Amino acid sequence: MKLTPVLERPKAPAQNADIILPSFGSPNALQQQEVPGPTAGEDFLNHTETGQREQRALVLNTQEAQRPYVCLFDGCSRSAGDPARMWNFRAHIVTHMYPKRVQCTQCEPKHTYKRSNELRKHFRQTYAGVPFNKSVHQKIRTDDELIEELRDCGFQCSECLTIYSNAEEVATHFRRIHPRISWDRSMHLVIRTSDIRQEQVSEFEQYQVVAQAMEALINVMRFQQNNRRQNQPATNQNPATLQ
């Protein structure tokens, strides 16, 4: 049984008349990481499995110098100079992903978020007094589901970029999730043309490749962190063991 949302919600973001479609970005061609980007006449999306293995190998083989680790997505300057921060670096990857993977199972039509903590906040504000149950109220969508949505759904909310299959779902979603903003179909309904859908499917596939390279980079950070721990001089040893 669906829950009834409460009326009071936090103030929605100020509306923006300029609709900016999301862009995933491409690999960041930074010297310190030497991750290969597309060569002349080569489409980055057409990397073979062998090419992806070679890319990951190059990442692994060029990290010996004491240089900061920088996000591989084009235009992103996020870095993690300390391998101990690798888990924060992994959490950062999701900021480049679109569409959003985490879905509220109680909202109808659906509403999605990038992170689970954002969904928990939404749920507690929208369904006040109802204990949040992650196994019941949250769905993590697969890559195949995200690609299907990008390919088949032709409408979008201009405020949060959530994608829907018809305009009525966008209107219902908007009035429920963004109640502080007066619904204006001409401003808040984005029509996703076939060209836009094809482009964003390609961008998501590109995101998948870069995300794999990021995971390889994180593995390097983990390897170096373990090496540092093993090479640290032992402390608090019993003096008798040193004789």
pLDDT at 235: 57
With a cut of 90, say whether residue 164 has pLDDT above it.
yes
> Which one has a higher pLDDT value, 55 or 15?
55
pLDDT at 54: 58
In a domain, 15, yes or no: no
Looking at the 3D structure of the chain, how many domains does it have?
1
Q: Please name which of 47, 7, 6, 49 lies closest in space to residue 27, comparing C-alpha atoms.
A: 47
Q: What is the pLDDT of residues 176-197, one digit of tens each?
A: 999 999 999 999 999 999 999 9
In a domain, 117, yes or no: yes
In a domain, 176, yes or no: no
Task: Say if residues 12 and 179 touch (Cβ distance below 8 Å).
Answer: yes
Dihedral angle computed from the Cα positions of residues 136, 137, 138 and 139, in that order, rounded to the nearest 10 degrees: 70
pLDDT at 21: 43
> Which one has a higher pLDDT value, 46 or 236?
236
pLDDT above 70 covers a percentage of the chain that reads 65
Q: How far apart are CA 219 and CA 59, in angstroms?
A: 10
φ/ψ of 140, rounded to 5, equals -100, 115
**Can you give the residue range of the structural domain that contains 127?**
102-140
In a domain, 109, yes or no: yes
pLDDT at 58: 54
Determine which of 40-54, 131-145, 200-214, 219-233 has the lowest per-residue pLDDT on average.
40-54
Average pLDDT, whole number, for the chain?
A: 77
pLDDT at 198: 97
In a domain, 81, yes or no: no
> Which one has a higher pLDDT value, 176 or 56?
176
Q: Tell me the average pLDDT across 191-217.
A: 94
With a cut of 60, say whether residue 217 has pLDDT above it.
yes
Task: Say if residues 10 and 130 touch (Cβ distance below 8 Å).
Answer: no
Q: How far apart are CA 122 and CA 128, in angstroms?
A: 10
What does DSSP assign to residue 179? Answer: T
148: left (phi over 0), alpha (psi -120 to 50) or beta: alpha
In a domain, 148, yes or no: no
In a domain, 3, yes or no: no
In a domain, 122, yes or no: yes
Q: How far apart are CA 162 and CA 97, in angstroms?
A: 13
